Amino acid sequence: MAVTIKEVAALAGVSPSTVSRTCKNHPSISKETKQKVRYAMAQLGYEPSIQNTTTIEQFAPMLSIILPPSSRDVYENSFHLEVIRGISQFCNIRGYISTVVTGQDEYEILKAIQTLVKEERTGGFILLYAKQDDAVIDYLYNEGLLYVLIGKAKQFVNQTIYIDNDNFLAGMEATEYLYQLGHRNIAYVGIESNMYFSAERKAGYQKALENHDLPFRENYCVEIDKCCMDNTASFSALLEQPQKPTAVVASDDILAVALEQCCAKKGLSIPKDLSIVSFNNSLFARITSPQLTSIDVNSHQLGIEAASQLINHIENPNLLATKIIVPHSLIIRESCREL
């Protein structure tokens, strides 16, 4: 009785579709997974059919861009648009196609990914976010699929290609800038700490306080569950402290704009009553009045580097997983003043 593809998959500890893609030398399958599958095929004496050995040349090369789970807010953040622009531009240069995968939750995103994998329509994936306990990362890794992470890897670190900023250093520098302007009551506004970029920016903020023997105050730290404009209650509580902060580090321009709006409703002036340093140097930072001092994370370059690394690993399967840090810079505008 002939050995089946399911038997090979069971011995290799992968799915039957992964065996099929290995037979076709599909670039989305990592070198390690291909070796494991081929070893199982040899052990069992499996002989793939002609259909299963068709080369990958039949496929139009395509990269799949995975956005964070969200019903709406993620599409309003220009950071993601700039990253996608960088990815698309590099794909155009190298003759690859890019597509975007979205969903309201991880389940929807996983279903979309599984459809792409089943139809063998993607050469690899780029995730535009990094967070704790990510079922999407678990699936991609366990299936032996090629992916690049924008953000620092915490799962399967040694095997993961990732592109990131030094968010810890950036958080320190934003806080240090405010300290050098004379501020000592410096608050922090960020999103939920399971998103690594915000957690690291907060850690950098705390380290800068520690370096100057300033206390970390829990009531000066506001963390919300998503990056949007609808957080007036949290911001109001911060601005109504008995000892009001004179400056704030905000982990995203959108949060900084929302904070500015809350200040305006309370009759507070930026930067006279509150100085703000934000992150991303997006369109939001430039269209506010006053314009925001912001850390430019070079999101367009993040996209270019992510696409470059994924294509390099598709075309050169023996490459080791690379980790790239894209530099940031402080763009000084009118939202901060010297005390």
Listed range (68-72, 99-103, 265-269) with the worst mean pLDDT? 68-72
Q: What is the pLDDT of residue 57?
A: 44
Contact present, 297 and 163 (Cβ < 8 Å): no
CA dist 156 and 130 (Å) reads 12
pLDDT in tens, 136-193: 999 999 999 999 999 999 889 999 999 999 999 999 999 999 999 999 999 999 987 6
Element (H, E) at 65: strand 62-66
pLDDT in tens, 226-257: 655 566 788 999 999 999 999 999 999 999 99
Please name the amino acid found at residue 31. Answer: K
The strands making up 124-127's β-sheet, listed across from edge to edge, are: 97-101, 62-66, 124-127, 147-150, 161-164, 323-325
pLDDT in tens, 290-328: 999 999 999 999 999 999 999 999 888 888 999 999 999
Phi and psi of 127, rounded to 5°?
A: -95, 130
Contact present, 325 and 169 (Cβ < 8 Å): no
CATH numbers and ranges of domains, the chain: 5-53 (1.10.260.40), 61-163+299-325 (3.40.50.2300), 167-297 (3.40.50.2300)
Residue 49 pLDDT level (bands cut at 50, 70, 90):
low
